[in-house]
Every structure is written in structure tokens, then in C-alpha cells.
């Protein structure tokens, strides 16, 4: 190990590269027989083997599953308690070959008291025993009749020659994957005002397991779902919840086996109720660690109150079953997507409304190209003017045809302006741009960056000056995706007096415009919006070919659906290039081959770093989602930061020619 100086450059370990912090976990409900420990042990072992064959490394079973939760006064019988312990030893022995950490529930006698406990097993060894802290003794529950509570309790139990920790505050820490830290609580522990899982998480547990026997009542499943997902969000953890099901006594209660796995507020897996089985999910412990680090209010780890219990697992590739949304900024559910669109339009409009009031302006200017971004900006402006009670004729839409303008985009801009009720002004800029070329000695036949940017800057100058003439505010149109890529002309379309789209990614822009088209109630307006949606994205700075757009943005910088995917997982999730490449290949395997994904990911990383100088001086604009690039808010990044480490990581994972996902 190199201790001082510069580390040697090395290639990424393939095994570590592929793991990326994903740990597969499982929650299962075995078929039990009340009070038959031997049979229950066999069922637990059989189910554990099935879980392990699915690649799960953390296996969680229900509360008191070795005996059954509904044994009632049979818990006072020595025969049952002794059999449960013997069965635990048998389970440990029979799961010795499983490369997994198991949690199983049983009653345990210690120093004259009986405890409801969760036993942690790994490679045939009993690592620790966690007693239940809070015992319900209300309604249908009478646990205090049989068990003792164990608030912040710690002791040891002698098992052969080993002293095994027995206490509420145990942390099970994987020696081979140090970020894999597991804490355990039992059923009612979660339902109290201050659950033990809070202590476990603040001590460093990234995964909380809960061994439960929660009976089913009308509506309780929704409450339980919200409780567990909410706790995983509050603690920024993975939460694995296994509960009792069929096989428990139905004398007075029914148990539905609602096994749940959540990560940071999101339900990753849920079992069918009233059918015993198991669910698995991939928990991203690296993302949980990074998210906690990002949240300055999340407390630093303090393990002094906990006993650390080491265990070891083989570091192998986790075969992913997790689904990554191909459009993470856009809800897949139609009703949720419509609600999101309405909310975003309101946020954008409220932002512009406040700014207009502040600068005492009752007019606004926008450059209307007939493209998606300027269309969305105009729709937001129209809503803002309605909020302010202003006549929309005070919206000045300016179309500035030049070398690359096509008839389709020009006509759409004119029609859109008319349908909104705005004032349209046409100012051709060819002559002004050609004069500028003459002034600076630019050959008009040389279609280089100067040729393109001169047009964008001429348009911005016109818009700024018109805004001054009209005592108006110039509304910017650029979106989040373009800002991430730097696909804007510095001091051209990059600049405005207020940018309403600055935190709306391109994939979401499309849905906002479509939502407006679907809900506006005007057939002609809807028709022009749908045609704009069908028009290729283009800055239209190069002459058209046969009347059609010659310069298509996605041909030049790559598909926006890929770039928005890269952007979300880089900034919101904190993933590195190799991890993003892996999940992108999985997510888009039916759309893009690995070489294409690699090409555009490399483009994204390079452009994201090289174009920060444009984002460092962005105009104001409202944040609408969890990812934003404002230099005053979410992204404080130096303009001259080096992308070298990101590019080197991409060099290591370069796909072989012809490789398929």
C-alpha cells in the first residue's frame, strides 16, 4: 500500500467495477406450522437457499418464525423454547455454505427472562442476537404476557466456546464491503415515536432489517407501506421488511405476508399479500452513503453506542434486477405525469410573475423560433400574464429568420403567437449578420462556429434592445439539458433577463408541451403544438437542405434521452461514469448498443466539464426539480475543473467493437 506521495495509476478491478455498491437483499415468508420448530426450520432453510440462488446477500425472515408468532401461552412452555434454540443451531449449520447474512426470529431465554429476538447468522455462525425493544400490549397484542422488553440492552450469551453479543444496539459490519452496515429492529419497534432504527442509522447502518408479524386489517397495508417507505426516506437507508403470512394461527387474526423492500423513500419490491413467498431488490449502498454525505443536516456516524459485529461476504458481481427509469425526470404514470406538468408550469409561471412585479414590468419579450424551448417559454408567459391579469398582447414574440430558418418552424412560430394572443414581430437578420461578417472579415461561405454564433448573438442583441424599448423583461428559453452540454452560444441564447426553462430537461420539455396541447381545449393551438413536438430539435444556424432542417442537434451532441439519463444519475445520484455506463446499457439495451452509449457518455462528460464557464454566469430562473445547475444554488463548480479522472474511468470500460448489451 502506498502511504505517501502520488498513487500509481492503475486500471479498475473488474469485479469492483461491476459491483458499484449494489447489494441484493431479500425478504421472505416461509410456510410454517405453529409450534413445530423442526418443520419451520426446514422451511426457513429451503427458502433461504432459494433466496441465495437469486443472488441475495441479506436474507430476512419474519418475527418468531422458528416457532410461529401466534403460539400464545405455548411461549411459557420450556419444550417450545428449547426446541427453538436447537432449531436455530440447525439452521446455522445447514446454511453454512450460503454466502449471505441471515436474520431469523425466535424466542430466547436469558437470565430468567424470555425475549423476542432476531438472530443474525453467517456461514454457519451465530453472529449476534437482537431483542425486541417495544412490546405491544394493546388491541390484539399481548406480548408483555410472555416477553420482556429490552430498551438499550446489552449482554453476551455463551454458545459453546463463543461469547455472542446479545443487545438492541448491534451493528453488523461487512469486512469485505465496509459500507455494508446492517442494523435490526423487530415489528413494533418501527411503529413507536423513536424507533431503534434511528439510532442504528445515525451510527452508520445503511440497511435496516425488520422481522415482523403484523396482522392484516382493512387499509393497514397502505399504512404499513407508507410507514416503511417513509422511514427509509427519513433515515436515507435501505429498509428490508419481512412479515408473517399463511401458516400462522387464524384463531383471531390473519397475516398477509406483505414483504417490502424500500430505498430512500422508494419501494423497490413488494410481495403479493396472502401468498407466502419472497421478494428481492438491489440496494445501492454507495448512493445511500453519498446522499447522507450530501445532506449537511444528516449527523456524522457515532458508533460509540453500538457494538460492532463483523461478518464477511465474497465480493462478487451483483446481477442487477433493479429497474432504472429511462426518463428519470418524467413520471411513467400518466396521471402522475400530468400532475407533475401542471405543478412545473405553475412554478415557472410564479417565478416569472414575481420577477415581473419586482422590476415593475407589464410587458415581456421572447425570441420565438418555432422550436420546443421557445414554445414552452411562451406557454409559461401566457399563464403568467393570466395570473397577473395582463392582456397577452403585451407579450412581444419576435421571429428573426436567417440563413437556417425553415418554412415549417417559421409558420409554426407565427401560428403559435397568434393562437396565444401575443404580438408578433418579424425582424429578418440576414443583412445585419452579413454586415457583421464584413466588419470582422468573416467569409460568409465559411460555415464555422463564428458563422453560427454571430446569428445567435445578433438575435440576442435585438431581443435585449426591444425589451429596453418596451420596458419589458426578456424571457430566456434555454433548458437544463442544453446547459449541461453547453449547447448554447455564450452571450447569445445563453443570456436573458429571466430564464423560465433553466431547470427543465429536454425530455420533460416535450411532455410539458404535450400536456398543454392535450389540455388547452383549442384544436388549432393543439395542432401547432403537436407539429412543433414532431419537428427535429435544431438551432437552425446552417442553411436548410431541400427546405428541410440540415442541422439536427441530436445528430451532433447525441440523443437527449441519453444525456438526461446521464445528467440525472451523475448529479442526483452521484454515480461515476462506469456505473452510469453499466445501468445505461441495461436500461437502453433494446434501443442503443454499448458502443453508442459509450460514445455519447464520453461526449457528455467532456462537454459537462468544458462548458461550466457558461453556467457560471447564468441569468436567474426557477428551480423546479431535484437537479439544477444554477451557480447560486445546486452546482458550485469551478469553470476550469479537469475531467481527466472521469475520462480515464471511461477509458478502462471502453466496450469491445461489436459488443452487444
CB atoms within 10 A of CB 364: 28
Q: Which residues pair with 173 in a beta bridge?
A: 181, 310
Q: Which residues pair with 473 in a beta bridge?
A: 364
Question: Residue 114 contacts by C-beta under 8 Å, 6 or more apart in sequence?
Answer: 75, 81, 107, 108, 146, 147, 148
What ranges make up the beta strands (E) of 453-593?
473-476, 498-499
**Helix intervals (H) in 95-219:** 196-202
CB atoms within 10 A of CB 213: 25
The H-or-E segment that residue 174 falls in is strand 170-174
> 575-597 burial string, b = 16+ CB within 10 Å, else e?
bbbbbbbbbbbebbeeebbbebb
CA distance 267 to 274: 19
What ranges make up the beta strands (E) of 271-386?
278-284, 307-311, 364-367
CB atoms within 10 A of CB 656: 7
- Contact at 8 Å (CB) between 623 and 504? no
- Contact at 8 Å (CB) between 206 and 233? no
Strand 423-426 with 395-399, pairing: parallel
Residue 426 in grid coordinates: 418579424
Closest to 99 in 3D by CA, of 119, 118, 121, 117: 121
CA angle 630, 503, 521 (to 5 degrees): 155
The H-or-E segment that residue 268 falls in is strand 266-270
Which residues does the annotation mark as catalytic? 63, 132, 187
- Contact at 8 Å (CB) between 286 and 20? yes
CA distance 377 to 546: 29
CA distance 115 to 113: 7
Task: Output the CA–CA distances (angstroms, integers) from residue 274 to 91, 240, 244, 639, 646, in the order listed.
Answer: 25, 18, 10, 57, 48
Round the CA-based radius of gyration of the chain to a whole number and report it.
Answer: 31
CA distance 85 to 102: 16
CA distance 511 to 338: 9
SS3 for 410? helix
Sheet holding 238-243, edge to edge: 266-270, 260-263, 238-243, 207-212, 181-186, 170-174, 307-311
- Contact at 8 Å (CB) between 92 and 104? no
The H-or-E segment that residue 603 falls in is helix 594-610
Amino acid at each position: 500500500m502506498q502511504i505517501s506521495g502520488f498513487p500509481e495509476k492503475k486500471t479498475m478491478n473488474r469485479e469492483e467495477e461491476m459491483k458499484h455498491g449494489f447489494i441484493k437483499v431479500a425478504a421472505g415468508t416461509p410456510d410454517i406450522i405453529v409450534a413445530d420448530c423442526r418443520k419451520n426450520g426446514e422451511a426457513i432453510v429451503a427458502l433461504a437457499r432459494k433466496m441465495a440462488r437469486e443472488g441475495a446477500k441479506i436474507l430476512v425472515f419474519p418475527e418468531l418464525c422458528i416457532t410461529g408468532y401466534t403460539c400464545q401461552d405455548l411461549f411459557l412452555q420450556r419444550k417450545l423454547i428449547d426446541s427453538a434454540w436447537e432449531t436455530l443451531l440447525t439452521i446455522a449449520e445447514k446454511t453454512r455454505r450460503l454466502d449471505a447474512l441471515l436474520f431469523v426470529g425466535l424466542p430466547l431465554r436469558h437470565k430468567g427472562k424470555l425475549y423476542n429476538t432476531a438472530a443474525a447468522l453467517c456461514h454457519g455462525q451465530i453472529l449476534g442476537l437482537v431483542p425486541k425493544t417495544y412490546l405491544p400490549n394493546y388491541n390484539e397484542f399481548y406480548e408483555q404476557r410472555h416477553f420482556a422488553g429490552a430498551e438499550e440492552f446489552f449482554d453476551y450469551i455463551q454458545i459453546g466456546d463463543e461469547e455472542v453479543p446479545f443487545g438492541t444496539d448491534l451493528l453488523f459490519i461487512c469486512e469485505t464491503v465496509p459500507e455494508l452496515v446492517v442494523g435490526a429492529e423487530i415489528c413494533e419497534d418501527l411503529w413507536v415515536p423513536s424507533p431503534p432504527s434511528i439510532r442504528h442509522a445515525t451510527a452508520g447502518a445503511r440497511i435496516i432489517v425488520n422481522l415482523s408479524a403484523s396482522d392484516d386489517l382493512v387499509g393497514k397495508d397502505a399504512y404499513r407501506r407508507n410507514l416503511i417507505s417513509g422511514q427509509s426516506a427519513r433515515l436515507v437507508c435501505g429498509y428490508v421488511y419481512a412479515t408473517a403470512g399463511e401458516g400462522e394461527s387464524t384463531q383471531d387474526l390473519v397475516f398477509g405476508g406483505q414483504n417490502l423492500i424500500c430505498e430512500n423513500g422508494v419501494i423497490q419490491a413488494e410481495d403479493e399479500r396472502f401468498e407466502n413467498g419472497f421478494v428481492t431488490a438491489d440496494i445501492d449502498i454507495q448512493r445511500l452513503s453519498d446522499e447522507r454525505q450530501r445532506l449537511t443536516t444528516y449527523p456524522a456516524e457515532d458508533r460509540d453506542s453500538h457494538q460492532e459485529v463483523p461478518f464477511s461476504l465474497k465480493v462478487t458481481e451483483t446481477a442487477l434486477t433493479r429497474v432504472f427509469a429511462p426518463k428519470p425526470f418524467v413520471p411513467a404514470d400518466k396521471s402522475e405525469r400530468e400532475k407533475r406538468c401542471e405543478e412545473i408550469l405553475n412554478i415557472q409561471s410564479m417565478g416569472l410573475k414575481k420577477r415581473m412585479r419586482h422590476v415593475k414590468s407589464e410587458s415581456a419579450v421572447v425570441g420565438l423560433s418555432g422550436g420546443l424551448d421557445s414554445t414552452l417559454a411562451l406557454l409559461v408567459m401566457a399563464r403568467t400574464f393570466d395570473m397577473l391579469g395582463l392582456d397577452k398582447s403585451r407579450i412581444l414574440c419576435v421571429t428573426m429568420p436567417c440563413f437556417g430558418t425553415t418554412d415549417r418552424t417559421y409558420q409554426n412560430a407565427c401560428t403559435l403567437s397568434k393562437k396565444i394572443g401575443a404580438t408578433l414581430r418579424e425582424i429578418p437578420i440576414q443583412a445585419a449578420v452579413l454586415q457583421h461578417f464584413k466588419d470582422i472579415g468573416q467569409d460568409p461561405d465559411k460555415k464555422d462556429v463564428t458563422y453560427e454564433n454571430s446569428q445567435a448573438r445578433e438575435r440576442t442583441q435585438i431581443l435585449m434592445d426591444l425589451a429596453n424599448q418596451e420596458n419589458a423583461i426578456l424571457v430566456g428559453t434555454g433548458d437544463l439539458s442544453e446547459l449541461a452540454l453547453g449547447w448554447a452560444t455564450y452571450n447569445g441564447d445563453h443570456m436573458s433577463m429571466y430564464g423560465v426553462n433553466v431547470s427543465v430537461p429536454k425530455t420533460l420539455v416535450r411532455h410539458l408541451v404535450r400536456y398543454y396541447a392535450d389540455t388547452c381545449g383549442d384544436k388549432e393551438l393543439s395542432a401547432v403544438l403537436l407539429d412543433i413536438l414532431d419537428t427535429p430539435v435544431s438551432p437552425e444556424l446552417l442553411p436548410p437542405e431541400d427546405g428541410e432542417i440540415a442541422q439536427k442537434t441530436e445528430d451532433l451532441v447525441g440523443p437527449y434521452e441519453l444525456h438526461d439519463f446521464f445528467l440525472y444519475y451523475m448529479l442526483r445520484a452521484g454515480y461515476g461514469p462506469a456505473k452510469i455506463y453499466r445501468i445505461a446499457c441495461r436500461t437502453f439495451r433494446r434501443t442503443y448498443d454499448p458502443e453508442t452509449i459509450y460514445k455519447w457518455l464520453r461526449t457528455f462528460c467532456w462537454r459537462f466539464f468544458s462548458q461550466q464557464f457558461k453556467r457560471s454566469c447564468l441569468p436567474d430562473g426557477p428551480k423546479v426539480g431535484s437537479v439544477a445547475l444554477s451557480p447560486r444554488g445546486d452546482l458550485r463548480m469551478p469553470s476550469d475543473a479537469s475531467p481527466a479522472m472521469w475520462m480515464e474511468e471511461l477509458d478502462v470500460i471502453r466496450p469491445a467493437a461489436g459488443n452487444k448489451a
